[in-house]
Structure 1
Amino acid sequence: MASLAASFLVSPSLRPGPEWVRPRCRVLGRSVYGGADRVASSLESIALNGTPPSPVTEPLIEESGYLAARTKGKKREGERRLDDSMAVEIEELQVLWDDGYGSASVKDYLAVAKEMIKPDGGPPRWFCPVECGQPLKDSPVLLFLPGLDGVGMGLVLHHKTLGRFFEVRCLHIPVQDRTPFEEIVKLVEKAVRLEHASSPNKPVYLVGDSFGGCLALAVAARNPNIDLVVILVNPATSFGRSQLQPLLPVLEALPDDLHFTVPYLLSSVMGNPMKMAMVNIDNKLPRRLQLERLSGNLTNLLPGLSDLADIIPRETLLWKLKLVKSASAYANSRLHAIKAEVLVLASGNDNMIPSREEGQRLVKSIKNCRVRHFKDNGHTLLMEEGLNLLTVIKGTYTYRRSRRHDCVSDFLPPSMSEFKMGFEQTIWLLRYASSGVIYSTLEDGKIVRGLSGVPSKGPVLLVGYHMLMGFELFSLVEEFLREKNILVRGMAHPSLFIGALENPTSEFSLPDWMRVFGAVPVTGSNLYKLLSSDSYVLLYPGGAREALHYKGEEYKCIWPDQPEFVRMAARFGATIVPFGAVGEDDMAEYVLDYNDMMKIPFLNDYIRESNQNTQRVREKGSGEVGNHQLFIPGLLPKIPGRIYYLFGKPIETRGREGILEDREEATEFYLQIKSEVDRNMAYLLKKREEDPYRSILDRVLYRVLHSPIRDIPGFKP
């Protein structure tokens, strides 16, 4: 029962009077559930009049999941603040924190749902999963709107992760409930308006799964002036083209003694059992152990399908399908009125509704809408392997605590599960091929393997050479995380952030992962914010011109004439670490550069058109670096060599305040840093010839016999 108790937020014993504001208590208590309308009415009374609830309505409010969020830290007449001993201290979230993702599975959902579906005669209501815990200060509210099942536990795999950054509230629609769609819309709408009235400067998040997606869109259309962030997971707005349509006559004609076949009919079109069973399997395990755990998970999961007959019995299923039909029509007729920020998560292997095509349609039908496709997942995307909802929210810049997203103040550090998924699953092939080896320079000038020469306290500005297509980025960021537990915030071209790469078929890909791991648009204000917060910042003065250089420009620093960053570094006393990186010539053969492409008909027109609306980092009159055109070079992969890095001796800006006033001194300092980068690359080009493991064949053999990728030796400095 302990695991079941962790699924509800209710109060075990409530006393009337001035002590009604209490920290959240969590026990299993279905018998004291209250009606959602009564809850909302009581909350409205509190919001408008500041009057504590009566002993009769008190449990209904606290159990609704709104009391703690709406009264925490506030003081009205007749109320008192929480005791200091009860206050939750919010500690600074560390890099590679444990987000708990993978600790729950579909088996947990089935176990809790079995208890929650017991009839209690109550209408739809809200609850707060205990696994979500206490969120960080100023976290926005997230309202989860369930799919056909109505249980409200569809986020069970994500409770611990989301609970750190959201006040999570889940809607529960009892099995026997027959509330019409319009009434459910009003219920959610009332909750949204109360949250908005309580915190008008914070967004309200609506996460709608399938049927809940229609519900979220309906609420958004009816409340265009409220700041909403709507996340749709395989929304049922495409129900008119659903594969369930042929099943309706079968379900209606199905004899009562065959109702047990319903879950098996549903399982054939709902989710991907393999994806569900793989959620908590570590991909670093040996293949044999992975298969053993997968087999065990499937063995435990499949018998639980019989519980679907109780969660969605035939009569309820028929009602829900009619409900979805009306919800779909309602939402589709109001898409034009939606002004909210909308993110659609669409499965490519959805056998219930055509989610992939629907995602593309919604992007074109809703003004402020983006989409991310997950081609291998089924309809139950939130319960399948391959999706950490918080990671998607972070990677699409959807998380914010105020009206506008700030890529510095709203940034959430990457978790350990994101590190494993990002580096060990997404870009594993590049890591394996390049096997980056890093050197740094100590204060006495000695060069050593690793990052011990890089300061361990910020602010630090890493300034270096931008290799072709940014090949050097991934190993650099990974090594700082592994060795120093430091996240390097990379300054990237704005085109990665302003939607230039967005299209109706976008998948969660490399640009999204770059945002997850701290990349920000390269602007003066962002550099100011990062250095003022003692961050480690990765800056490439050559920018896109250097990363997309022409033939014959390998390992040539192409920097602007103006000393752009030195004054900013001096303002905050930042330590500048110049570095060089080589190895692009060992990774790919340059076939077509910009000059070659501009000689090809049609291709040159395409490049010109695509660059017309591209945001510029610098003014057009700032030389070739400012006037550079973006393009994708023609490359042929080579048998991989190796990427090498050398971080030079740290250069202090403290005590050099003259840089702020004297332009000549700033220029001289700027050129000194550039020459250090050139010197580092010259050293690497010479010394890499002494590396016995420069060839991938030698590295593979060494790895098989001795160690993982990152421990393969390099040249001796």
Structure 2
Amino acid sequence: MAVNGACFFAAGFPTTVRCCAKPSSSGKFKPNPAVANTTRRFAVSTEESITTETTTDFVEDGRLKNKVVEGENINPYVLELEKTELEYKSSRKSLNDYFEESRNFIKSSGGGVGGPPRWFSPLDCGSRLNNSPLLLYLPGIDGVGLGLRTHHSTLGKIFNLWCLHIPVKDRTSFLGLVKLVERTVRSENHRSPSKPIYLVGESLGACLALAVAARNPDIDLVLVLVNPATCFEKSQLQPLAPLLEIMPFQHQFGLPYILSLMTGDPLKMVIDNARKGVPLLEIVEGLSQDAVVIPSNLDVLAALLPRETLLWKLNMLKVASKFANSHLHAVKAQTLVLSSGRDQLLPSEEEGQRLNRVLPKCQNRSYSGSGHFLLLEDVFDLATLIKGSAFYRRGAHQDYVSDYVPPTPLEFKQIYEPNRLFLLAISSVMLSTLEDGKIVRGLAGIPSEGPVLFVGYHMLMGFELAPMVSNFLLERNIFLRGLAHPVLFIRTQKERLLPPLSQFDTFRAMGAVPVSGTNLYKLLASKAHVLLYPGGGREASHRKGEQYKLFWPEQSEFVRMAARFGAKIVPFGVVGEDDFGEVVFDYDDQMRIPFLRDYIEAVADELGVRVRTEEDGEVGNQNMHRLGILPKFPGRFYYYFGKPIETEGMHELRDREKAHELYLQIKSEVEKCIGFLKEKRETDPYRNILARLSYQATNGSTSEVPTFDI
């Protein structure tokens, strides 16, 4: 079935979706008039409307548009964060909604049991970004195509989402399904050859995605494989097929057996929800609802997987697994494997590790407490994961600037919550400078419009980043786009010594980009607020006794670039690391120990990418290593953003000597900011955490703790 992207409602198809199907032989679409006129919450789409894309509420530099309430501009993030609890509660009903919508499919004569496989596009998807790529969802053994239902809204904002529905009585072979998906992929690639096509496959669908990728290496595909059934030969489902052939009723064995294996770990769900700050009563209510939902919907699963269909699917799994494994060598596509640690249907965690070793462009994410139906659990949001893992792109090559999609308020809250206690403990003091030179508490002195380049001191292990990025967003609705070490983004070979890329998903989700002149150029051109640390990893991993010492290169790397775009340069300093921890085992100590020295050099070789290789001395030493830090009683962090330096119209900065003079001036300003904070914090009556806790106990945990007089 060739799909050209036009959509209409097929007769009998449930009103929760729109159907994507090929045109009639005359080339004209013929929707059922009776269905087209039915009142419903899902509208019929034409070819024009599905290919015309709408934009979100993000403005040019990635910020949400400010909202006006009673004549006053309000930070939209503050407003939207209040709605996140309602969104979370809605997502907790995912399992029940899955069964309810599956029931609707079954009731619809065309959509539930009859007809050939077909594509549909959920109409609860949000408005898409310009030039959004196509995402095809390939379902697992159930075939209904609703496995992404908890992700429809967020995926729909950044993808053109189509889901494959395989009716209950359909007996299309695995190779037939491969050819169906293949025709769609080729047709859509012909329409938009410069865009990637995403294949999200779950268990059986993962085998389908691998087979299509292997047969079409010339097409730009991105695979997301969820508990792939390539390990079916090791599955507990293997002995089920022969038993189903001799047993008359699937209710007596097959279906209850599969149901008993489908859920994740309830205790893990409780722990995850508690970490998110969900009240205990709501957690218990959610678990009790799930406990009732599964047995009360046995009839739905019985209708989706009757004995003959279940037997057909199990035999198909065997064929699909063998086919996909025999073609793995031909898969060149970028691949992300999601594995459940408590998948009782398949040994998914072990299989994810195997595929990570076999496939050349593969990353792995593991969820230790989840079951087989990972996408129906409240563990992660797929759109957030794809963005955070740097798998989202709209062109042939990854562009960390133009492809970046800022986190939604809900996504930001999920990132913010795990750091809440840390942010509370350090109780940051933020100072900025107004145009007239007055120092004020808060970020009122920060320019609202970009491009703006923030240049400052990189605190030990980058501890200053979370408070700074959070405050800029919550107080000023400003996303800081940080230029970061390449280790956060790339691997030249399989990970052995380097930390897994999954550890840096949050940094990428919040807008970090690999440090390079090209990326700095693109960020400034897009009028972004850019965060640059000239000292880089050398400052963040400094030696004993080197706190607050700048390790900047001799060359004025960024001044002329900023002047080219008329960017404002904001020098800033941060202090407080010496109140938080002390380096007791540094790089020099480690290099004196032979096996640690060999390890550090091996890590550098594995990374394959070095920064500042043109620099001599300490600035050029950016080797990755772990520091031995002795924690202290949590102190307080202090930030001081100096007066913005204008570069617009300063044509003299094209001259290298003039640019270098400004570079030295900026460095001096950063040192002055640090000196100012070190002096003033001595007069802060709330520098000690005990004093801060006492104040918050009296005035409320969310109250702003006072500081020194400015």
**How does the TM-score come out when normalised to structure 1?**
0.86
Deviation string, structure 1 residues 55-75 (Cα, Å, up to 9, x no partner):
4999999xxx9x96965698x
Give the Cα separation in 1 of the matches to 2:442 and 2:271: 34
Aligned 8 A contact 2:268 2:369 in 1: no
The residue number in structure 1 matching 2:70 is none
Deviation string, structure 1 residues 401-435 (Cα, Å, up to 9, x no partner):
1110100000001111111111112x334324333
**What SS does structure 2 have at the residue aligned with 1:444?**
coil
Q: CA deviation at 1:89?
A: 6.4
The residue number in structure 2 matching 1:237 is 230
Aligned 8 A contact 2:174 2:320 in 1: yes
Moved more, 498-507 or 599-608: 498-507
The answer to whether residue 90 in structure 2 is matched with residue 103 in structure 1 is yes
Letter in 2 for 1:223: N
Letter in 1 for 2:320: A
The answer to whether residue 653 in structure 2 is matched with residue 647 in structure 1 is no
Give the Cα separation in 1 of the matches to 2:489 and 2:703: 31
Q: 1:113 aligns with which of 102, 115, 118?
A: 102
Give the Cα separation in 2 of the matches to 1:238 and 1:435: 49
Q: CA deviation at 1:535?
A: 0.4
Q: 1:619 aligns with which of 601, 613, 621?
A: 613
Q: CA deviation at 1:562?
A: 0.9
The residue number in structure 1 matching 2:304 is 311
**What SS does structure 1 have at the residue aligned with 2:103?**
helix
Rate the CA distance shift 1:279–1:305 in 2: closer, same or farther, 3 A: farther
**What SS does structure 2 have at the residue aligned with 1:269?**
helix
The answer to whether residue 482 in structure 2 is matched with residue 490 in structure 1 is yes
Give the Cα separation in 1 of the matches to 2:493 and 2:637: 28
The residue number in structure 2 matching 1:173 is 166
The residue number in structure 1 matching 2:138 is 145
Q: CA deviation at 1:314?
A: 3.0
Rate the CA distance shift 1:453–1:277 in 2: closer, same or farther, 3 A: same
Letter in 2 for 1:53: K
Give the Cα separation in 1 of the matches to 2:46 and 2:134: 8
Q: CA deviation at 1:436?
A: 2.2
Give the Cα separation in 2 of the matches to 1:555 and 1:203: 45
Aligned 8 A contact 2:8 2:21 in 1: no
Give the Cα separation in 1 of the matches to 2:264 and 2:104: 24
The residue number in structure 2 matching 1:48 is none
Q: 1:183 aligns with which of 153, 173, 176?
A: 176
Deviation string, structure 1 residues 525-556 (Cα, Å, up to 9, x no partner):
11111111110000001111111111111001
Moved more, 511-520 or 171-180: 171-180
Count matched residues.
671
Aligned 8 A contact 1:480 1:488 in 2: yes
The residue number in structure 1 matching 2:539 is 546
Moved more, 680-689 or 216-225: 680-689
Rate the CA distance shift 1:275–1:111 in 2: closer, same or farther, 3 A: farther
Give the Cα separation in 1 of the matches to 2:527 and 2:709: 33
Aligned 8 A contact 2:568 2:647 in 1: yes
Give the Cα separation in 1 of the matches to 2:272 and 2:584: 43
The residue number in structure 2 matching 1:462 is 454
The residue number in structure 2 matching 1:79 is none
Aligned 8 A contact 1:466 1:546 in 2: yes
The answer to whether residue 580 in structure 2 is matched with residue 593 in structure 1 is no
The answer to whether residue 627 in structure 2 is matched with residue 633 in structure 1 is yes
**What SS does structure 2 have at the residue aligned with 1:346?**
strand
Q: 1:162 aligns with which of 149, 155, 163?
A: 155
The residue number in structure 2 matching 1:16 is none
Deviation string, structure 1 residues 475-530 (Cα, Å, up to 9, x no partner):
10000010001100000011211126963898774411100000001111111111
RMSD of Structure 2 on Structure 1 (CA): 3.4
The residue number in structure 1 matching 2:427 is 435
Moved more, 177-186 or 429-438: 429-438
Q: CA deviation at 1:697?
A: 3.0
Q: CA deviation at 1:441?
A: 1.6
The answer to whether residue 411 in structure 2 is matched with residue 418 in structure 1 is yes
Moved more, 639-648 or 230-239: 639-648
Q: CA deviation at 1:292?
A: 4.9
Aligned 8 A contact 1:281 1:293 in 2: no
Deviation string, structure 1 residues 27-70 (Cα, Å, up to 9, x no partner):
9842999xx9x955x58x8xxxxx73364999999xxx9x9696
The answer to whether residue 260 in structure 2 is matched with residue 268 in structure 1 is yes
Q: CA deviation at 1:400?
A: 0.8
Give the Cα separation in 1 of the matches to 2:551 and 2:500: 33
Give the Cα separation in 2 of the matches to 1:615 and 1:453: 37
Rate the CA distance shift 1:89–1:511 in 2: closer, same or farther, 3 A: closer
Rate the CA distance shift 1:204–1:675 in 2: closer, same or farther, 3 A: same
Aligned 8 A contact 1:520 1:526 in 2: yes
Q: 1:53 aligns with which of 13, 24, 28?
A: 28
Identity %: 50
Deviation string, structure 1 residues 636-673 (Cα, Å, up to 9, x no partner):
22221121111111111123221112x22212211111
Q: 1:481 aligns with which of 473, 476, 489?
A: 473
Give the Cα separation in 2 of the matches to 1:31 and 1:604: 64
Structure 2 matches for 1:317-396, cutoff 5 A? 317-396=310-389
Deviation string, structure 1 residues 594-642 (Cα, Å, up to 9, x no partner):
1100111211011112213442232334442123322111122222112
Q: CA deviation at 1:454?
A: 0.9
**What SS does structure 1 have at the residue aligned with 2:593?**
coil
Aligned 8 A contact 2:636 2:688 in 1: yes
The answer to whether residue 547 in structure 2 is matched with residue 560 in structure 1 is no
Structure 2: 5+ residue stretches without partners: 37-41, 65-76
**What SS does structure 2 have at the residue aligned with 1:113?**
helix
Give the Cα separation in 2 of the matches to 1:28 and 1:273: 40
Give the Cα separation in 2 of the matches to 1:627 and 1:290: 51
Give the Cα separation in 2 of the matches to 1:506 and 1:373: 15
Aligned 8 A contact 2:9 2:32 in 1: no
**What SS does structure 2 have at the residue aligned with 1:674?**
helix
Give the Cα separation in 1 of the matches to 2:332 and 2:284: 48
**How does the TM-score come out when normalised to structure 2?**
0.87
Moved more, 490-499 or 310-319: 310-319
The residue number in structure 1 matching 2:72 is none
The answer to whether residue 616 in structure 2 is matched with residue 656 in structure 1 is no
**What SS does structure 2 have at the residue aligned with 1:200?**
coil
**What SS does structure 2 have at the residue aligned with 1:207?**
strand
The answer to whether residue 129 in structure 2 is matched with residue 136 in structure 1 is yes
The residue number in structure 1 matching 2:526 is 533
Give the Cα separation in 2 of the matches to 1:423 and 1:501: 32
Q: 2:290 aligns with which of 295, 298, 308?
A: 298
Q: CA deviation at 1:253?
A: 4.9
Give the Cα separation in 2 of the matches to 1:303 and 1:692: 60
